[in-house]
Structure 1
Amino acid sequence: MLTSQLVPLLADAALIAIIAVIVVLVAGTTGLVVTRQRRTRELPAPTPPAPLDTGERVEPKVGEDAEEPRDTPTRTLEDTELPTLEKPESAQGRLVRLRAKLARSQSSLGKGLLALLSRDKLDEEAWEDIETTLITADVGVTPTQELVERLRTRVRVEGVSGEQARAILREELITLVDPTLDRSLKVDRKDGKPAVVMVVGVNGTGKTTTVGKLARVLVAEDKHVVLGAADTFRAAAADQLQTWGERVGVRTVRGPEGGDPASIAFDAVKQGIDESADVVLVDTAGRLHTKIGLMDELGKVKRVIEKTAEVDEVLLVIDATTGQNGLTQARVFAEVINVTGLVLTKLDGTAKGGIVIAVQRELGVPVKLVGLGEGADDLAPFEAEQFVDALLD
């Protein structure tokens, strides 16, 4: 009897337990699903993969993407500001202006000689004064003696008057300056390679500035120029040269400060060949003419360049205000490297025009360029007749 009553009770308890387990499982599953859904909503949407480049045309997006404003407006070529390059002055205009400067600064030599030659009586004292005037003007002793002797002869034969004295003096000075010397610059391509011009000189002569000004002269003649900043010892020398080049759109090849000048010169010439340039201008470090080691390095630079191309010009820059000391410098440089032309700078200052005659006579090398000021275009080819006319104006 008792057993029959317990059986239904146990069955009911088991059923209740089963129902409780099912409720717990259902509740746990529901919570898990809700939690996953909540986490899914909190996570950012995945970035769609970039479309593969299948060669098919990709249509532009529309909707919100198309309405999103750009950060900056689109710039066209017309809106872009390109650097403005300077236009160097033509050779003719430069010569006219330089002649006027030379006449103002050097006229004392010509005026002094004309005043002496126009005296009523040319005695020995007058001729000594003429000789002193010429030597003081840095003409040099030997050229002065030659000029005075020729003037004496012509005055004796032809007589002297105001205009006649000027004509005689002009002719003899032109002869002394020697217009027959070849003053042309070798700056034309040859055998498919650019002309190479080395510029040398002592410290403080205006060498780097001369290279920059010469680049302007060549650009005005429509030459394609490359600059080589082989002066690696003077602080900011390469920066100075690069600034000159940028003003007229000329490339500057440079290296690290204190680097090997010969290596940089070689790279500049190679760049000139690659660009089919007309001329490569190589600026070298200033050398004291008393330092044999430094001078010998110039020879090394030249030899390294010649492994690739011929050096067509070696221009020696001389500060005209140094007078006879400039002759000593020139002599030493000529012994170390084959100088082909001279550049006289600062003729507008306290320089005496006679240095042109003296340095040419000393080296047998022509003055090819003269600088008469700090302006960017104050460098011009030297012309014997115009130089003498400026002295006598």
Structure 2
Amino acid sequence: MPAVYGQQDLVLDHGEGVRLWDVDGNEFLDAVAGIAVVNTGHSHPKVVDAVQEQVANYVQSSYYFYHEPMADLLQTLTEQSPGDLKNTFFGNSGTEAVEGAIKLAKKATGSSEFISLRGSFHGRTPGSMALTGQNKYTHTFHPHMPGAYKIPSPNYYRYGDRFEDENEFSKWAAEQVREVIKYDSNDDIAAVVVEPIQGEGGVIVPPENYLPYLKEICEEEDILFVADEVQTGMGRTGELFAVDHWDVEPDIMTVAKGIASGVPFGLFMGTEEVSSTMDPADHYTTYGGNPLACAAANATFDVIDEEDLVENAASVGRDALDRLEGMEADYDIIGDVRGKGLLIGVEIVSDSDSHEPAEEIAKTVRTQAHEQNLLVSRCGTHGNVIRLSPPLTVSDEEMGEMLDRLEDALSIATKGQ
């Protein structure tokens, strides 16, 4: 079906670490990582061994029965997840995780309305599309789930110029929750759903106080705080989960993408208080929590821990941002550089003074990066942000090589102006 988009002229054959090869033997550095999925790198031996062993043992059991890989993973999640998150439901994707979180929030609160952010992305099924704050993904599929309200994105680069500083902007942006409650809702808000760092929205890192303010307002208004960690979880941002940067404790959290190194998997978690409201048969899945996916996830956690990939993401990411900020000074088409860990965005503009989004130039940068055998993705509400999300195994030298190739692409795109 012609439903997908953005497919490039590249037929992949195999991968190893941060590198991919096509069927013609061409080698590429991969700064896409399956869209922030293969955090342990392509075909990590420990993950491969775990998957092969589980396939040889048995693949599917259904939720009717317990199995050891599931028990091990549940224990790990309980120990390593932020705050008081304790109970987990396994599914197959990020979108499923968000849909499950919606049901859990409704059941726990008895309310049916939600607040999310403009510029957000939560999935492509009806409930998750209702939360997604980008019409380019949702407009042809209205009407969505009713009672889904949007507040401004904490995008200080785009919207902060009329505020005295980031702290004032953070307070204003978070206080929009109360504005929705007062003027828009039917006084029936179940939860605020937020990506700690907006991914598809353009790698929007909120100002330092934004998420703590938002969480405080949720507590004062007696509504749940849902952290969508589908793209930001599993060490991607230099913490195991991005909310840990701000010491914010979610009531519900979704995880997918990087949790199983490419084996389809997604989950949502809740605190004991929230989760205990669910009754048997309130939710179910055929493939969720299958032994193969759980084995891959267990191996992924092991690799992240044994190879210190969270700290590697933080360290390599800091150095990459430093170099990209130097490029920002050299290239007028770079309006902003931002990110945490190995989730980095380079916003492409017509010129750095106007901030005018330049989608066509961004397309050229991505095309020229491909010509330099570097794979990057493009995101943002205006389609003008080059996103770098390489495997967390990337070394300083490999990242340096990626940035060399990106700079070549930027140079070519600049000369074309």
TM-score, structure 1 as length reference: 0.33
Larger helix share, 1 or 2: 1
Q: Based on CA coordinates, which of the two structures has the bigger radius of gyration?
A: 1
